[in-house]
Structure 1
């Protein structure tokens, strides 16, 4: 008997207690939904509501399952109780109720709920769907739906334009427009969320966080804001804040595709790849969105990062079928092949739908250093440029500045202007940025922060330590650039300018009088070509500048004697004979 008692006690000690709370039942409900066991999901969501009756999300999930099961009346009772007793600000419940009434063919009631949604909801999550429902109701009721105002449409025309600018990668212009919208409509939370996103894409994390906090002050449960804030905390390395927000995001199962996509990408960026993969797989089952190559790429990345390598391969094959021109899926399929044959160890992959930054530069180098027009217009690539400009290492920033010089539009100019006044950036990088701005034809004066103080510089004048900058010296540089424009990249032109400044600085004040601008310009191009191993002869460069071979060689020897170009070439390329 004593032995039996001991065994019973040991058995009790080995039992792991189950902690029954709302999260426990929520997770069971989600698992049941994934398996299409709606009856079990309904039971578990009801238990979650019992444990957390004040949590409106639990009630919404319950209403959603009831609607899926065809119990539209029961779903509406739950939705009405949310508005009456739990959270009256959840105006999207009116839209869900309108859907349920329409499914019951109670079109008058559906119209009333839909009008209430449009007139009271400030966020406009379901505006497109609401417009489709108005068409249905007009057909069924034989009259148009009378809506006195659409609250979420206040400033919507401008907001749609701002969103288009974001999608085009024109972040600075989007910021300007969104700031104007928010001056007139400070409670326009969708615009504020997009302003935060634009700041984020440009690398201005502090400004992005300020806007997100303002959104959450107005609407603590705003999913977009919660996702964006969590990502920003991760960049800051604030693990405690990330974990707190993750505990809020993990139980969320959004109804709307846009919200599912947002949550999925957020969880992936945060390293919650298992959750991300579950959300992406939900989206792939939807025929309305599963034609998007980005979605298949994201699902592939989540699969890869959770060790589902064969699933990742399958998703990338589909992405490649949908978007063969980009070569993105093909690159990652080659990574898979290298892993499969043992030549490459699997590494975590980023969720961005573009080639890794280093791979992009390799391709451009193979393409003669020229960035394709399609790449220049890609908002994700542009975002990666701006991101790397603010958060990359020295070499990456140098490459980015060079690449931005090829893009050269308003967004680039604004980003480089902002770079000039960043207090912690290297002066040599700012010199290159200033050169690119001059190369793009930007007029001054421009603020430049160096050594703790701000000065104003004219980008049209070459930067140097010389006490003056002579117009004839500038003409030499301008003449060279005019000839080099289509043959040399920005950094090579920058090297030419630096060589000219170095020569003038070393001979100053005994600077020769510039009688032959073309001769000096041709000599600088020739020496720059040699430094970069471009196959250029005296004869070729002389013909382009309309001068004699002897003139080019004379000025090239003068510059070499002062600056030691021959020795520099031999140091960089030992096998080179060093002939100038």
Structure 2
């Protein structure tokens, strides 16, 4: 069966192992090999069944522990690996001449994956003491010297143990012409053709993202990103929400999943720098297109009024907006800016009347929702504010001014909840999308002195 594996003939390798088991059902080598063959063939459920069968086998062979640990490592049964290691210890097979360095390595991987880093380090050091040339153990220990957010470790096997040489050769044959053309769509089509030819790779992508070595994880990320199928996007989402691999790779996976609609825009809980953090994912399209149906003179007055508000010249803004409202009395943008002018002048009740009117008449209008949410925040009605803002997070397209209001409302929401890290994340996202916005610097100052109180539109009160 190993010869068939080397030739990339997985079906024949599986059939050979099954024939052995037909007359020797407790053959540990055949069971372990069959588990691996099924796993790397994409038949993960069947592999898990064989691994469970292997667990129950008793044998006097000294390599029974290693063969069990290998099979369980392929299917990701970390506790099972440690149970096997403990059984080997009870049997006295962790001492010379029976001690196996690879068994120590696999136990280290399982321990690390279960959060037992100190124990994992001890096992890897013992593996290297037994076999100084065991490169996979040395590579894992070396990886642990990196900052926590840059680590790939732990991984049980190197990339060639997961993917056949034929699959690798075919990858180049399918994708190289597409890369030479330099067209993203061509690469996507070629990758999808490759996955149709090698369906096992699609099943391996989640496994490699979870427990592959650096090369394997990079391979899986590139395949999933290039293919862009629902199955691959789901694999990237699951990887993004896990604790495996470097932060940068998981953040990239999260971005792709968010753009595919599999993660919400806005804050998402991701494992970063060794702890769970609220991370903002930017998956919005921003534009600055004017309203084509608005009277040109009204549009001009609105622009001038907006600039006046930026200068904090509320009286001039009010004059211009009222002129415009005489021509088009029901334009939401005019009313919204008039409310902002009133608030800047301290005319809070008049501003609130306009905000409520806008929300009643135009419930999907971004400024109406953010304005109502900010009113709720100013009154301590945090749950109500959250409910108002939540529907906006599913939007994919904002005018730059809408996006600013959207971000400001969330900054205020998180400040009210004393979650300054989340507030700063929203500010950073806003700044990355619209770095020249006049209010960015002001909000950075406000976050530096978070005890101040701010009105519904962000003006100090």
Return the structure number with greater relative CO, CA threshold 8 A, min gap 6: 2
Alignment TM-score, normalising by the size of structure 2? 0.35
TM-score by length of 1: 0.28
